[in-house]
Amino acid sequence: MNKRQYSYSRLDLYDRCPHAYKTVYLDGIPRARHKARERGQILHGMVADYLNRLITLGLATDWDWARTAAPEGAIADVAEIWGRFYEGFVLPSGLEAPGVERRLAFDRIWRPVKFDSKRARFRMVLDFHFRQNGLGVIVDWKSSREVPQDVAKDLQLRTYAWGLKQALYQDIQEVLLRLHFLRYGKEREVLLMPQDLADVSDELDARINVIEKDKTFDPVPGSFCGMCGVTSHCPVMAQSLVPVEVAAPASREQAQKAASLLLTLQKMEKELASRLKEWVKGNGPIQVGDLVYGPKQSVSYDFDPKLVITALLETGLSREEVWSLLSLNKTNLERGLGKLNRKDLINLALSLGNVKTLEKIEFHKAKDTV
């Protein structure tokens, strides 16, 4: 694998764990299968085929085709997410210069080159792009479970916008980035101005320089370990407890060893956790990469059903409406009042509960430390 090939996802993998980056991109070891990644790839392919079809045939929708598009044996929720997408998606008419899964590449001094050019150093793929009234628009399909309230102008989004302008629509000033969350049919947008794109190539150069100067590619264990896909090639994991042949068994004998080790670990886990909790109580939290093992607080409410029901009836809600809120807990109350379009009553309802603060010692992201 050529050491000098980059993309945003490669820079991102290096950021999360240099050793994982080296294993995958310099040593050429393929990542183990990961459901979320596979789901994303399948959905991106389906959406791209659908868009190409709509654009070529000049259609706004094609449900007959879309109904048959989900591949047989696809991961469980692919068909469900796909259905939600095509039933809510209408291709706008009159798109200027649209492109689907457009592959872009740039050389060492950031000049656009062919995607398969030997001079290509940095590559990117734009999910869907078009022009609209002098504006460049990029639609990025997301299959993740989280939908942020606001979209940050992070380097990844600025890189896509910069690439669009640099390689395809040189005359545009602004780029609208639209994130389409396939799972929920929701969209978030952010408008990138010329000043947001001015330093993108310098920032990418700086990130690439760090990688090229790295001689050790040290592993950084943390919350990403479950997703890196190269755990069985990781020295930290190998040194911890599990020999490589047990972590990734290839024969029945190794699988047998893996099963007995798993059983031992499950039995040890309780014991280990209880001793570690005692230690943490006396000596404070322990940091492991970007995770902290230590106390985390959560709040729960104890409701007196009679009190809450009386108070809600007094606000004018009908008995049937209040009835639907029973099983009283905070989540049900919030959801139920939301469905009734009475979010204004949430604070009143919560004020009637006894607040209990619970503290659990567990792993959580370092930023959540209390």
Binding site for ligand SF4 (CB under 6 A): 17, 19-20, 219-221, 224-225, 228, 230-231, 234, 236-237
Nearest CB to ligand SF4, comparing residues 227 and 261: 227
Nearer to ligand SF4, 136 or 221 (CB): 221
Question: Whose Cβ is closer to ligand SF4: residue 21's or residue 122's?
Answer: 21
* Six-digit token string for 304: 């007196």
Given the complex with ligand SF4, which of 43 and 228 has the nearer CB atom? 228
User: At closest approach, how far in Å is the CB of 237 from ligand SF4?
Assistant: 5
Q: Nearest approach, Cβ of 21 to ligand SF4 (angstroms)? A: 9
Please state the closest distance from residue 273 (CB atom) to ligand SF4, in A: 21
Q: How far is the CB of 221 from ligand SF4 (least distance, A)?
A: 4
Output Rg (C-alpha) for the chain, integer angstroms. Answer: 26
- Contact by Cβ (8 Å): 332, 339: no
Residue 173's alpha-carbon distances to 111, 140, 145, 331, 338, in angstroms, are 18, 19, 32, 45, 41
Quickly tell me which residue has 């780029």 as its tokens: 175
Query: Contact at 8 Å (CB) between 42 and 75?
Result: yes
Place of tokens 């009553």: 345
- Of all residues in this chain, which one has the CB nearest to ligand SF4 in the complex? 234
Q: Given strand 291-302, what is the order of strands in its sheet? A: 286-288, 291-302, 354-365
Min CB(269)–ligand SF4 separation in Å: 19
Q: Please identify, using beta-carbon distances, which residue of 100 and 291 lies nearer to ligand SF4.
A: 291
**Shortest separation between residue 230's beta carbon and ligand SF4, angstroms:** 5
Cβ–Cβ < 8 Å for 172, 131: yes
Q: CB 216 → ligand SF4: shortest distance, Å?
A: 13
Which bin fits 161, alpha (ψ -120 to 50), beta or left (φ > 0)? Answer: alpha
Classify 204 as helix, strand or coil. helix
CB-based contact 238:247 (threshold 8 Å): yes
The C-alpha angle with vertex 136 and arms to 119 and 83, in degrees rounded to 5, equals 95
Q: Give the nearer residue to ligand SF4 in terms of CB position, either 26 or 59.
A: 26
Query: What is the DSSP-derived secondary structure letter of residue 32?
Result: P
Residues 15 and 21: their CA atoms lie apart, in Å, by 8
Query: Which residue, 291 or 361, has its beta carbon nearer to ligand SF4?
Result: 291
